[in-house]
Amino acid sequence: MAREICLRQLAVRPRTRAELAGALAKRGISEEVSAEVLDRYDEVGIIDDAAFARAWVSSRHAGRGLARRALANELRRKGVDGEVATEALGELDEETEADTARGLVDRKLRTARGEPDAVFRRLVGMLARKGYPPGVAIRAVKDALAAQSAEAAEFAEQIDADALAEAEGELERDSRSSD
């Protein structure tokens, strides 16, 4: 029965060992039987958390434009070991992340309406929700605004991306220390 549960889960989409263990536990399968089945699946390569993590990072970055921080959170929720997740995330370099951020901003900017400062805040917020660090988000939006129009370029010129990123970083540290 445990094997059937795992195979049904895996037929829908790839799963981590932790996800399969959770599915087995929900169905009342003992830890001993779960461990035995999962060890065997691990041994023969049916489950491979490292391959899952690499595929997840590649897919979610390309498809949703998620940054490393958001991807790390998703992998943690999926039960991927921290070291395995770090290795998979290492394949996503800062330059690729910055290019993706700029692409997301360029796409959103085509339909953005309103004053440059409001558009700036909305776009930086969108990138922040996707896990981009403040410096990357602010620079991507500033560069895109500068390329858009004379008015937007004038607004962008007034933005000190490094100072804003520093302030954002301080706010983030303060919010973590108050938790």
Tell me: the pLDDT tens digits for 121-140? 899 999 999 999 988 998 89
Tokens of 120: 């700036």
Strand intervals (E) in the chain: none
- Give phi and psi for 27, each to the nearest 5: -90, 5
Short-list 12, 13, 21, CA closest to 41: 21
Tokens of 63: 């498809």
The number of residues making up the chain comes to 179
87 and 151 share a domain? Answer: no
Owner of token pair 């003992």 = 30
Assessment of whether the complete model's pTM goes beyond 0.85: no
Residue type, 142: K
Q: How far is CA 139 from the centre of its chain?
A: 19
Q: Do 108 and 174 reside in the same domain of the chain?
A: yes
Are 104 and 88 within one domain? no
Amino acid 114: pLDDT: 84
Where does a domain end: 63, 92, 121?
92
Which range marks the domain in which residue 81 is found?
Answer: 49-92
pLDDT for position 49? 93
Q: Is the pLDDT of residue 166 over 80?
A: no
- SS3 for 149? coil
pLDDT, averaged across the chain: 85
* Position 128, amino acid: A
Looking at the structure, tell me whether residues 99 and 142 fall in a common domain.
Answer: yes
Which tokens is 42 given? 């691990």
For 62, how many CA atoms within 13 A lie in the half-sphere containing its CB? 7
Kindly state the percentage of the chain with pLDDT values over 90: 58
11-55: per-residue pLDDT in tens?
Answer: 988 899 999 999 999 999 999 999 999 999 999 989 999 999 999
CA distance 47 to 169: 38
Are 66 and 135 contacting, i.e. CB atoms less than 8 angstroms apart?
no
Same domain membership, residue 72 and residue 36: no
Report angle CA 143, 145, 151 to the nearest 5 degrees: 135
How many domains, in total, are found in the chain? 3
Q: Are residues 127 and 114 in the same domain?
A: yes
Please say whether the beta carbons of 66 and 42 come within 8 A.
no
